[in-house]
Amino acid sequence: MIKNGRIVKSLAGFYDVESEGTVYQTRARGNFRKKGMKPLVGDFVQFSTEENSEGYVLDIKERKNQLVRPAIANIDQAVIVMSTVSPNFSLNLLDRFLVFLENKKMTPLIYISKLDLIDNLDEMNQFKLNYEKIGYSIYFNSDELLNALNHKVTVFMGQTGVGKTTLLNKIAPEMNLETGETSEKLGRGRHTTRHVEFFNVAQGLIADTPGFSSLDYEVDNAPDLNNAFPEIALISHDCKFRECTHTHEPECAVKRALEKKEILQSRYDNYLQLLSEINNTRETYAKRRKKQV
Ligand SMILES: Nc1nc2c(ncn2[C@@H]2O[C@H](COP(=O)(O)OP(=O)(O)OP(=O)(O)O)[C@@H](O)[C@H]2O)c(=O)[nH]1
Ligand SMILES: [Zn+2]
């Protein structure tokens, strides 16, 4: 019988496909293999199932997005975990995570951990207001965050030590994750490769997230960078030049908005920093290519 479903687990060449509430064990066998495509957890697939024998994944539907580590596809949203201290809160790092997610069409949710370690909340409250104005959701407690996971596929990301595991243990104890502390106590190596699996939490799906300690935001051109800053993208429609980079061009609406404090200075500064990183990388590549000729 041919069915449609979604891969919810992958282990040693087997794929668990969920279809209308039932999970079927399958292997890969389809045209996509010739194209070098490998089924990923999160893929919507067509598969065959037979009684008394395993089924086969026959076709993979087009992906909305995908991650390499963990290897998953079609992710709706990502929780960026940022701590107030140890490691220190960084708007620069946060904006890099946001650019990465915007570019991948994953909705960012921002969770602030270790609020108990700071005496004064003024700065964090101001940050919350500022970023909510851009359109982002900021969470100071895990119960509110839990509600936002309903009916969505969510991954968790953040610098090492910010408290991802601690947070996941609070909202999804069934995932049985080890925090930095416990895995050190037990003398086990960190970052052991696990199989990839979705967990049902709050009527949504959560993917385990082994990686993400360093971040390549994966944007390599100015227009994509512009679009990865939603408030800049919106205002850029009023710039005189269609491909305005908001640096040296006359009649730039973004610079006007900056003067009127309608755009945060830190956001603009981080935009400029990423833009110059992108330009530097492009120049380096161009030089290398010239040398090769
Ligand atoms: N005071 C306080 N400590 C926290 C909080 N969240 C996490 N921690 C501590 O911070 C340390 C790191 O937490 P983890 O949950 O292991 O961090 P992680 O992001 O999973 O780190 P990696 O596994 O390295 O990616 C642990 O000692 C936690 O107990 C918090 O909200 N408040
Ligand atoms: Zn402009």
Please give the pLDDT value at position 212: 53
Q: Which residue's CA is the nearest one to ligand 1's atom 28?
A: 163
**How far apart (Å, rounded) are the C-alpha atoms in residues 184 and 179?**
8
Please give the pLDDT value at position 196: 78
Please give the pLDDT value at position 264: 98
Please give the pLDDT value at position 122: 98
Q: Does ligand 1 lie within 6 Å of residue 181's CB atom?
A: yes
Tell whether 256 and 164 lie within a shared domain. no
How many other CB atoms are there within 10 angstroms of residue 226's CB atom? 20
Which residue among 183, 207, 231 closes a domain?
207
Tell whether 197 and 226 lie within a shared domain. no
The pTM of the full predicted model, rounded to 2 decimals, is 0.90
Tell whether 79 and 106 lie within a shared domain. yes
Token match 């100071």: residue?
140
Tell whether 160 and 274 lie within a shared domain. no
Tell whether 51 and 147 lie within a shared domain. no
**How far apart (Å, rounded) are the C-alpha atoms in residues 96 and 114?**
21
- Residue 159 burial (C-beta neighbours within 10 Å; 0-12, 13-18, 19+): buried
Please give the pLDDT value at position 199: 87
Of 166, 169, 177, 181, the one to substitute when testing ligand 1's pocket (max ligand atoms within 8 A of C-beta) is 166
Ligand 2 centroid, distance to 100 Cα (angstroms)? 21
Determine what percent of the chain is predicted with pLDDT higher than 90.
68
Q: Indicate whether 233 belongs to any domain.
A: yes
Distant-in-sequence contacts of 216-220, Cβ < 8 A, 24+ apart: 216/100, 217/96, 217/97, 217/99, 217/100, 217/103, 217/274, 218/100, 218/103, 218/104, 219/99, 219/100, 219/103, 219/274, 219/278, 220/278, 220/281, 220/282
Segment 46-75 shows an average pLDDT of: 90
Ligand 2 centroid, distance to 257 Cα (angstroms)? 10
Average pLDDT, the chain: 89
**How far apart (Å, rounded) are the C-alpha atoms in residues 128 and 80?**
14
Report H helices in the chain.
91-103, 122-134, 142-147, 164-171, 180-185, 222-228, 230-236, 253-259, 265-292
- What is the band of 184 on the pLDDT scale with cuts at 50, 70, 90? very low
Binding residues for GTP: 113-116, 158-166
Tell whether 76 and 58 lie within a shared domain. no
- The answer for residues whose C-beta is within 8 angstroms of residue 256's C-beta and 6 or more apart is none
Tell whether 105 and 199 lie within a shared domain. yes
Binding residues for Zn(2+): 239, 244, 246, 252
Segment 209-233 shows an average pLDDT of: 84
Domain housing 263 = 222-292
**How far apart (Å, rounded) are the C-alpha atoms in residues 104 and 100?**
6
- The answer, yes or no, to whether residue 185 has pLDDT greater than 90, is no
Q: Does ligand 1 lie within 6 Å of residue 169's CB atom?
A: no
Q: Indicate whether 24 belongs to any domain.
A: yes
Identify the CATH number of the domain in which residue 41 sits: 2.40.50.140
Tell whether 178 and 287 lie within a shared domain. no
Q: Does ligand 1 lie within 6 Å of residue 116's CB atom?
A: yes
Segment 224-247 shows an average pLDDT of: 97
Backbone angles phi, psi at 86, to 5 degrees: 35, 80
Q: Does ligand 1 lie within 6 Å of residue 84's CB atom?
A: no
